[in-house]
Homo-oligomer: A and B are copies of this chain.
Amino acid sequence: MEDLVAEVLQGSVRAMARLITLVENEDSRALQIMGAIYPHTGKAYVLGITGSPGTGKSTLTDKITTILREREQTVGVIAVDPSSPFTGGALLGDRIRMQRSSGDAEVFIRSMATRGNLGGLARTTADVVKIMDAFGKDWVIVETVGVGQDEVEIAKTADTTIVVLAPGLGDTIQSMKAGVMEIADLYVVNKADRLGADELLSEINVRVEQDFQIKKTAWQAPVLKTIAVENQGTESLVEAIERHRSFLRESGKLRKNRREKTRQETLALLKDEISRNVLEKVLGNGRFDALIDDIVAHKKDPYTSVQEIVRTIFPEE
């Protein structure tokens, strides 16, 4: 296992792919691996790209990757896919469209399935970002399908988050879920040659302006137009990303945000590990199922029962 970590640090793509698989499968050695990886992290810049299906996120990711590569930056891409069998086809199409940059040996692309466990996915995504970071990638791009609370969680992994919209999808700021305005550092209206692009653009501008007036934040999210398939607006987008990066660095926010991310990640990890231990050690041997039987039969209630269990773990002084 130590060999595998050492190989990743020395730049073995094969070792990196194996480590990611171990972490993704929640292998029992994952904590140990990540403990060995952690000291080598903190150098990569993490870019989040999120938006509804059909907005052209994958093409945009591809173009951004190509521009970063031209600037001699190394790039890792994590594409988070929903696991629904019905969207599988469409997503495969997306993956194929990304082949331009994936033909480049310096670009490592990893797709991840959700498997229905989003808490777990957010944690795994954060771990995979760290593995790519330790490997030596200058940039890690996390692309999430759809805009929802789950994606908001995953987006928190990123230093800069781009929210992508496209005209004609019924995809307006108003239809977006709560929390999206909070994570967007940059908005992109992609497929800007389509009908309704200007309306969508001005709608977003109004919302962003309102939000900015209310919150008086130091950074006002710019709203950009792109036609990713024609590579239009993509250079300006990378410039805007760089401006946001500079802003984060110079304002001290990069450090502050990363501290908060570390706090959240550590807390989530702690909760997961404690829960796992509770189930194994406190409620093992069918004891939990017996309790549930009593609760279902209304012989016990969940609230008092939980308090009793908690008191066995944390006795009152």
Which stretch (A3-11, A240-248, A296-304) binds chain B? A296-304
Q: Distance (Å) between the CB of A43 and the closest chain B CB?
A: 11
CB <8 Å contact, A174 and B86: yes
| A306 proximal to B (CB < 8 A) | yes
Contacts of A146 in B (CB 8 A): 148, 177
| A92 proximal to B (CB < 8 A) | no
Once the chains are docked, how many angstroms separate the CA of A303 from the CA of B131? 14
| A197 proximal to B (CB < 8 A) | no
> Mask for A278-293, Cβ within 8 A of B = 1, else 0?
1001100000110110
Once the chains are docked, how many angstroms separate the CA of A52 from the CA of B146? 13
Closest chain B residue, CB of each to CB of A279: B267
Which stretch (A67-75, A95-103, A228-236, A257-265) binds chain B? A257-265
Judged by DSSP, the binding face of A is helix
| A66 proximal to B (CB < 8 A) | no
Once the chains are docked, how many angstroms separate the CA of A54 from the CA of B171? 12
CB <8 Å contact, B42 and A298: yes
Q: Distance (Å) between the CB of A122 and the closest chain B CB?
A: 11
The answer, among B273, B277, B302, for a CB contact under 8 Å with A38, is: B302
- List the number of copies, as a whole number: 2
Closest chain B residue, CB of each to CB of A113: B178
Closest chain B residue, CB of each to CB of A315: B281
| A150 proximal to B (CB < 8 A) | yes
Once the chains are docked, how many angstroms separate the CA of A175 from the CA of B289? 37
Contact-size category for A: 35 or more
| A124 proximal to B (CB < 8 A) | no
| Contact status of A54 and B175, CB under 8 A, knowing A292-B262, A303-B32 | yes
Query: Known pairs A116-B179, A150-B177, A269-B302. 13 more at Cβ < 8 A?
Result: A42-B298, A53-B175, A84-B177, A85-B214, A86-B173, A87-B174, A90-B174, A148-B148, A170-B171, A263-B288, A266-B291, A266-B306, A270-B309
30 sampled A-B residue pairs with Cβ under 8 A: A32-B303, A35-B303, A38-B303, A53-B175, A82-B177, A84-B177, A84-B178, A86-B174, A86-B207, A90-B174, A118-B149, A148-B177, A150-B150, A150-B177, A258-B296, A262-B292, A265-B302, A266-B291, A266-B292, A266-B295, A270-B278, A270-B306, A270-B309, A271-B271, A273-B306, A274-B275, A274-B278, A277-B314, A282-B314, A313-B314
